[in-house]
Structure 1
Amino acid sequence: MGSGNAIRGSRVGAGPMGEAERGEAAPRVRVSFWCANMHETRPSFASDAAVPELWDCPRCGLPAGQDEQAPPAPPKNEPYKTHLAYVKERRSDKDGKAILEEALERLRNNKSPW
């Protein structure tokens, strides 16, 4: 290792980057957003840019809105459904029994259902 005096990430002759080299910064506006956990986030936007209605809270990940008194509700997470659960949504028990009887009858008669 070196002596520890070098500044990492710089080069000889590098000076401070300021507005003189980059140009002037665009005028900015800070907007407050609140999530359901009442976390406040204040991102800045260019003054002529469109401000979004929702912003993701960096602390908890919930959507945040501009109305402190009525922040957006957390999204509802659907639980994982098995194939059987989806089938039961489409078919009644009566339909299932009829399909099962039809398949068993084909097997009994040595007729392939496929």
Structure 2
Amino acid sequence: MSSGSAIRGSRVGSSPMRPDERTEPAPRRQITYFCAAGHDSIIWFAAEAAVPDTWDCPRCGQPAGLDSSAPPGRLRAEPYKSHLAYVKERRSDEDAAAILAEALAKLRQRRGE
């Protein structure tokens, strides 16, 4: 059983739970981004940091822009591609026929035909 005098939730050498009164937080600014779904997101940046033109909306994941009247369009959802679809993108029909003929020749050789 542990001692009842231990301070729970802190460790030895940790800093105080509240900010020190003698320190000042770094200067920062808030930027509002608007997405096509009508969400507005307030994002805090350091004062000297470069602000990106687009930001992913934390609510819907779509791109959000700085202009409320013309937010960026929605991302087009790419359909699921099978392994065969990716192979067909990389190989021509002639390549496929040659690979098939080679594989069939190896299979027939193993079977002794």
TM range (shorter): 0.5 to 0.7
Q: Counterpart of 1:51 in structure 2: which amino acid?
A: V
**Closer, same or farther in 2 for the Cα pair 1:101/1:34, shift >3 Å?**
same
- Cα distance in 1 between the residues matched to 2:99 and 2:28: 66
- Please, what is the CA RMSD of the aligned residues? 3.3
Q: Verify: 1:101 aligned to 2:104, yes or no.
A: no
Percent pairwise identity:
57
**Closer, same or farther in 2 for the Cα pair 1:92/1:50, shift >3 Å?**
closer
Map of 2:50 onto structure 1 = 50
Q: String of CA shifts for 1:12-50, please: whole Å, max 9, x gaps.
A: xxxxx8887153344443222111212111223343332
> Do the aligned residues in 2 keep the contact of 1:19 with 1:25 (CA within 8 Å)?
no
Larger strand proportion, structure 1 or 2?
2
Map of 1:38 onto structure 2 = 38
How far has the Cα of 1:111 moved from its partner? 5.9
Note the residue ranges of structure 1 that are not aligned, 5 or more in a row. 1-8, 10-16
Q: Verify: 1:83 aligned to 2:78, yes or no.
A: no
Q: String of CA shifts for 1:45-88, please: whole Å, max 9, x gaps.
A: 34333222222222212221112233223334433433222221
Q: TM-score, normalised by structure 1?
A: 0.57
